[in-house]
Every structure is written in structure tokens, then in C-alpha cells.
Structure 1
């Protein structure tokens, strides 16, 4: 009987992917916690019951910086989740470790820079550049997956 778990974990490319995937998920958690902390500090709650618990209905309101944090988190969801899918499948296509690591590293660094640019906020086009560069490895992985699949079709 083949133990596929051992094969996956022993794959250097898949292990590299898992490393960056976990870092990205951790980064998403950090942004989520930061959003909650900013919400508490700014006393700007999205739900009336939360506002009542923290001082009254006057705190059932929006705050520009809370909304900025929420948008950063939402943007992570829109971009990191597809990366997780693409990276996992790409890892199974047998790419070279150095090329795979470059894909994962570029995406990770750009997503960190994107979040920093969003939260500080940095002058445009810092955030857009980080976003655009992060899309390059995703498109590359998608194309390589399709080529790999078409070879077996």
C-alpha cells in the first residue's frame, strides 16, 4: 500500500509550498486580529450588539482605518486562496525546486508588501506594484498547470 502522505511531505517542492502557504495563512490571521484590535481601539463596531457591549449604540459605526484594515484582509482572501489552490496543484506537476521556490517566495514577499502598503498607507503605486508582481507567479503556475494537464489529455 502506498502512503501518499509520506510522498507529499518528502517532496521538496510540496514542502516548500506548505512552508509559504502556512506563512501566508498566518499573515491573514495577523491582519484579521489587527482589524479587530483597531476596531476596539477606534470603537467602531459593525454590529449593534458589539457596540452595546463596548459603550453604546453610538459606536455602531464605520471608521476609515477599520475599513482600510478590512479591505486589506478581504484582498488577502481574494488573492491568497487562489494561490493556495494553484500552488498545491503546481507542486504536483514536478517543477524544479528552485523555480517553484521563486514562485512561492515572490508571491509571499509581494503579499506582505501589499499589506504593509495598505495598512500604513504607503504612497501609490506601491500597493498596485506589489499586487501586480504577485500575480506573475500565479499566472505562471496556472499556465504551467494547464500545459501539464494538456500533455496528458
Structure 2
């Protein structure tokens, strides 16, 4: 394992994978923050100690909460494949500069995607950032398949 971590591409991948995974993990507390500050809960047990009248007010959806929740879901759908494909890509021995370009573009696209989603920026800002992230993952997947295809 220590030998593997001496590989610059693997170290670069590890850096950017941790950045996007931590970003994804922060979306959970952000959702909680939005739920509490907007008074919007989705589960009965979240408001169990409230009166029946308060429960009716609090058991509702709120656009801000739903926006953060959907952003988190989108992270799960995109960051997990990036981490898996990116690790395999790093193991194929790509040039460091090309690998860094892939990793940096993906991380930037995901961070911008979150800003665009939470900030409700006009389209196509969010869609373009999503497409850029997906293209990076597909590019790395192509390299992996092109390098190790064994059918």
C-alpha cells in the first residue's frame, strides 16, 4: 500500500476524491440545517414531541430543503462512480498532467454544480456542470477500458 501511495497519480486522485467525498458528506448536515431553519420536516418522528397543530405546520416540504436534498442525491449518483472509475483510471498509469486535469475538472464541476443548485442559478449552469463531470468520468472509463479491456 505504501508503494502505491508513492505513485503521484494515485496521490493526486486521493486528494481530489477526498475533496469531492467530503463535499458530498457536508450535504447531509446542510440538509439538516435547511430543515431546521425552514421548519420543514419529512418524518413523523422528527416532530414527535410537538402538538398536533405544530406537526401539521412542520410536516411539509420546502423548496430550499428539497433543493439541497436533490443536490445531495445528485452527488451520490455522480461522485461514487467518479471515485470507482477514477481509482481504476489512476491505476492505468496515465500522465500526471492529464490525470490532474481530469480530477480538477471533475472536482470543480461538482463544486460549481452545488453552488448552481443551492443558489438556484439559471440553467444551463447546473446542467453544464453536470455534463462536464459526467464527460470526465466517461473519459476516464474509456481510458480504463482501452488499457485493460479483457473480454
Q: Which has the higher contact order (CA 8 A, sep 6+)?
A: 2
Whether contact under 8 Å (1:12, 1:97) holds in the other structure is: yes
Match of 2:55 in 1: 57
Describe the SS at the equivalent of 1:94: coil
Ranges in structure 2 where 5+ consecutive residues have no aligned partner: none
Match of 2:31 in 1: 35
CA distance in 2, matches of 1:81, 1:66: 22
Alignment CA distance shift 1:53-1:83 (3 Å): farther
CA distance in 2, matches of 1:54, 1:148: 59
Deviating above 4 A after TM superposition, structure 1's stretches of 4 or more consecutive aligned residues are: none
Match of 1:138 in 2: 137
Match of 1:6 in 2: 2
CA distance in 2, matches of 1:135, 1:61: 33
Question: 1:28: how far off?
Answer: 0.8
Ranges in structure 1 where 5+ consecutive residues have no aligned partner: none
Please report the TM-score for the alignment, with normalisation by the length of structure 1: 0.92
Please report the TM-score for the alignment, with normalisation by the length of structure 2: 0.93
CA distance in 2, matches of 1:53, 1:95: 56
Matches within 5 A, 1:73-88: 73-88=72-87
Question: 1:64: how far off?
Answer: 1.1
Question: 1:54: how far off?
Answer: 6.0
